[in-house]
Amino acid sequence: MADREIQSANLFDRLPNKGTNEELTTLVDRAGSKLVRIVSTGQATPEGVWYDQDDNEWVVVLRGSAGLRVDGEDDVRVLSVGDYIDLPAGLRHRVERTDADGPTVWLALHY
């Protein structure tokens, strides 16, 4: 165990106030899974673009809120603090909106 680095930090450190792009930070990357902190400041998926991933993705909102559209559903799912969703591989989805007046902080587990 002595040769393995132990990392420690706070998920809310160094949050951007505003930016053109989301900020993605890989926190853990191990065989078969990756944990990513995503900070959104008003971004949305470009019109006509859908995410269609090869891996499952579990996402939770830690701060702020977002609107997530899942292909085949009529309504946009509103995700607020503490809300999560487990998206199976191959399920098309897109971010319709994130908070513009403060950061939306997500954790995304790709597995």
What is the span of the domain harbouring residue 40?
29-110
In a domain, 14, yes or no: no
Mind listing the pLDDT tens digit for each residue in 43-87? Answer: 999 999 999 999 999 999 999 999 999 999 999 999 999 999 999
How many domains in the chain? 1
In a domain, 102, yes or no: yes
pLDDT at 19: 78
CA distance 19 to 23: 9
In a domain, 59, yes or no: yes
In a domain, 54, yes or no: yes
The pTM of the whole model exceeds 0.85: yes
pLDDT at 6: 82
The enclosing domain of 61 has a CATH number of 2.60.120.10
CA distance 73 to 87: 13
In a domain, 4, yes or no: no
Size of the chain in residues: 111
| Nearest C-alpha neighbor of 96 from the set 74, 73, 81, 77 | 77
Instruction: Give the whole-number percent of the chain exceeding pLDDT 70.
Output: 97
